[in-house]
Amino acid sequence: MYWLKRAVYKIGRESRTAGKRLAWRIFYGKRFSMGKDWKIRKNTEIELTGRGRISIGDGMITRSGVSILVDGGDLRVGDHVFFNHGVSITCLKEISIGCGCKIGNNVVIVDHDHDYRGSLEDMVSSPVFIGNRVWIGANAVITRGVSIGQGSVIGAGSVVTGDIPPYCVAAGVPARVIRYITEGCGESESCGESESCGSRRGDLQACLPGLQPAERKERRDIGCVEDRR
């Protein structure tokens, strides 16, 4: 009976994923693009408003309660990204997440703040860039205007308010570098998640869908590529 239950569960999950993808594609049209081999759990919500755009690569996995809101901004997610329970992403300007990232329970990623100097109804926005193969621990908060370099780890409960270099462990409030990761970060190391990804260290552009080379600027100090408009 166990194998029968697992088969029924798998069929139900795949049907739910296919139904959500189809509905999002029909409703949002060309502003919403997606790869293949997604695995989406119940209560995963994607909302696209204004002139916003969403581009997601292959193999995305979500647990229950994931919420993604793009209100006039541009969200790009690379291949094989995992979002655990309760992840919340709100994009008003620009958020880029590289290939192979693991996002822990209840992580919040935002590219904006309320303007406390004026009316709290006004927003201040700055792009957020997360490199390939970044692991963000549970309950961390990624604030506007930050870049996290490839291969880095953000400790659980951290608040990231400034740039984090590649291949390091950062934690705290605000997050600070605790140590650097010296193994497995050779210059020729690929993303390791997909043959089609083609991403190399310091090359976020090669991984993310919809990122135009002519529009990007490389920041060598954080080990990722930015797309500034």
What are the catalytic residues? 114
Q: Give yes or no for a contact between 49 and 28, defined as CB atoms under 8 angstroms apart.
A: no
Phi, psi of 184 (to 5 degrees): 70, 30
Helix (H, G, I), strand (E, B) or coil at 199: coil
Q: What is the DSSP string of 47-109?
A: EEETT-EEEE-TT-EE-TT-EEEEESSEEEE-SS-EE-TT-EEEESSEEEE-TT-EE-TT-EE
- What is the CB neighbour count within 10 angstroms for residue 87? 23
Residues 6+ apart with CB under 8 A from 58: 35, 36, 37, 79, 80, 194, 196
